[in-house]
Amino acid sequence: MSNEKSPSEPANNPAAKLWGGRFSEATDAFVERFTASVAFDQRMALEDIQGSLAHAQMLSEVGVLSDGEYRQIAGGLQDIAEEIQAGEFPWSVQLEDVHMNIEARLTQRIGATGKKLHTGRSRNDQVATDIRLWLRARIDLIAAELTRLQTGLVELAEREADTIMPGFTHLQSAQPVTFGHHLLAWNAMLGRDFERLMDCRKRVNRSPLGAAALAGTSYPINRERTSELLGFDAPTENSLDSVSDRDFAIEFCAFAALLLTHLSRASEELVLWTSSQFNFIDLPDRFCTGSSIMPQKKNPDVPELVRGKTGRVNGHLIALLTLMKSQPLAYNKDNQEDKEPLFDAADTALDCLRAFADMVPALKAKKENMLEAAAKGFSTATDLADYLVCKGVPFRDAHEIVGQSVSFAIEQDKDLAELSLVQLRQFSAEIGEDVFEVLTLEGSVAARDHIGGTAPKQVRAACERAREMISQRS
End residue of a domain, out of 103, 119, 135: 119
Identity of residue 277: Q
User: 339-359 vs 123-159: helix axis angle to the nearest 10?
Assistant: 20
Structure letter (DSSP) for residue 286: G
Same domain, 322 and 180: yes
Per-residue pLDDT, 21: 62
The CA R_g of the chain, rounded to the nearest whole Å, is 31
Residue 275 lies in a domain: yes
Same domain, 69 and 143: no
The pLDDT tens digits for 161-214 are: 999 999 999 999 989 999 999 999 999 999 999 999 999 999 999 999 999 999
Q: Which residues contact 172 (CB under 8 A, 6 or more apart)?
A: 377
Per-residue pLDDT, 16: 55
Per-residue pLDDT, 29: 83
Count how many domains the chain has: 3
Are 167 and 373 in contact by the 8 Å Cβ rule? The answer is no
| Cα four-point dihedral sign 227, 230, 236, 241 | negative
Are 165 and 217 in contact by the 8 Å Cβ rule? The answer is no
Phi, psi of 282 (to 5 degrees): -120, 130
Cα 79 to Cα 333: distance, rounded to the nearest angstrom:
30
Q: Which residues contact 349 (CB under 8 A, 6 or more apart)?
A: 142, 256, 259, 260, 313
Same domain, 274 and 147: yes
Q: Which residues contact 344 (CB under 8 A, 6 or more apart)?
A: 312, 313, 316
| Cα four-point dihedral sign 261, 265, 268, 274 | negative
Same domain, 400 and 266: no
Residue 226 lies in a domain: no
Structural domain boundaries, residue 346:
124-204+238-372
User: 98-110 vs 123-159: helix axis angle to the nearest 10?
Assistant: 120
Same domain, 107 and 134: no
Residues of the chain with pLDDT under 50: 1-12, 14-15
Same domain, 108 and 167: no
Q: b/e map of 61-79 (b: 16 or more CB within 10 Å)?
A: beebbeeebbebbbebbee
Q: CATH no. for residue 367?
A: 1.20.200.10
Are 62 and 119 in contact by the 8 Å Cβ rule? The answer is no
Per-residue pLDDT, 230: 98
Residue 219 lies in a domain: no
Coil, helix or strand at residue 96: coil
Same domain, 139 and 108: no
CA atoms within 13 A on the CB side of 375: 13
The residues facing 167 across adjacent strands are: 175
| pTM for this prediction | 0.91
Are 34 and 137 in contact by the 8 Å Cβ rule? The answer is no
Per-residue pLDDT, 415: 86
Are 167 and 184 in contact by the 8 Å Cβ rule? The answer is no
Coil, helix or strand at residue 298: coil
End residue of a domain, out of 318, 342, 372: 372
Same domain, 293 and 410: no
Catalytic sites, residue numbers: 170, 291
Query: What number of other Cβ atoms are within 10 A of residue 337's Cβ?
Result: 14
Residue 215 lies in a domain: no
End residue of a domain, out of 119, 149, 183: 119
Per-residue pLDDT, 464: 98
Judging by DSSP bridges, how do beta strands 234-235 and 206-207 pair with one another?
parallel
Phi, psi of 164 (to 5 degrees): -85, 135
Same domain, 394 and 361: no
Per-residue pLDDT, 401: 93
Same domain, 311 and 428: no
Residue 104 lies in a domain: yes
Same domain, 268 and 136: yes
Per-residue pLDDT, 295: 66
